[in-house]
Amino acid sequence: MNLPELIAAVKKHAMDNYEASFGWSEVIECWEDNDIAEAIGDADLTPTEAIKRVADFVSIRDERYREAVGPEVECPECGTKFGENTACPNWRSHE
């Protein structure tokens, strides 16, 4: 695949996983195409390989984010996971 197609595949994966991790949301909000291209490196990759290369950066950013804001916690009422020092987004349904 060519580099623009790989970048598009990474951006689609990042958007699909935007809510799943801080790192993927950072790719969407902060990375330019040239940042993604730099992370991918060699353009002679499959989309899965390109995503894996960016995922290595994403996991580091997730780790740093968790160090800064604390771990996710799970609501004992509904099982929703949310950031430490915040309230369950479904708290009203628990009344």
Instruction: Give 54-90 pLDDT, tens digit per residue.
Output: 999 999 988 888 788 777 788 888 988 877 667 788 8
52 is in which domain, residue-wise? 3-70
For residue 75, tell me if it sits in a domain: no
For the entire predicted model, the pTM comes to 0.73
3-class DSSP state of 69? helix
- Residue 63's closest CA among 21, 15, 28? 21
On the question of pLDDT at 52 being above 80, the answer is yes
Do the beta carbons of residue 18 and residue 28 sit within 8 Å? yes
Instruction: Compute the mean pLDDT over every residue in the chain, rounded to the nearest whole number.
Output: 89
User: Into how many domains does the chain fold?
Assistant: 1
For residue 35, tell me if it sits in a domain: yes
For residue 37, tell me if it sits in a domain: yes
